[in-house]
């Protein structure tokens, strides 16, 4: 696999990881016991830490991308391993009407 492909996959996994870790550890002003500023949404975070989100997303994305690349290299899980619908029927044993 080319390094550019690995980079593209890493960036996609990093974006997904950022959305996964984004709500972790966030508390609202109501949960913190603070008063709301006029016009503030009650669900707005009071302790948002973007660098912590970036760090967590980077760690998670690095682990997931490493597993993806290792699975690509060693073939631990393939398409045949996740086939939930079973083997498709043999289409030659069906008697189809002749084409006109």
CB 46 within 8 A of CB 34: yes
In this prediction, residue 98 has a pLDDT band, given cuts at 50, 70 and 90, of low
- What is this structure's pTM? 0.75
Q: What is the CA radius of gyration of the chain?
A: 24
Q: Which two tokens stand for residue 10?
A: 């890493």
pLDDT tens for 17-39 read 999 999 999 999 888 889 988 99
Domain spans of the chain?
1-31+44-75
Distance CA(27)–CA(14), nearest Å, equals: 23
Burial 53-71 (b: 16+ CB within 10 A, else e): beebbeebbeebbeeeeee
Q: Which helix (H) or strand (E) holds 35?
A: none
């Amino acid at each position: 696999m080319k390094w550019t492909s690995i980079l593209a996959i890493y960036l996609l996994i990093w974006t997904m990881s950022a959305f996964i870790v984004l709500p972790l550890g966030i508390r609202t002003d109501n949960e913190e016991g603070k008063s709301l500023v006029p016009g503030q949404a009650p669900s707005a975070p009071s302790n948002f830490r973007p660098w912590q989100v970036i760090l967590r997303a980077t760690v998670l994305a690095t682990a997931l991308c490493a597993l993806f690349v290792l699975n690509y290299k060693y073939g631990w899980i393939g398409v045949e391993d996740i086939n939930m619908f079973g083997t498709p029927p043999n289409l030659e044993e069906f008697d189809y009407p002749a084409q006109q």
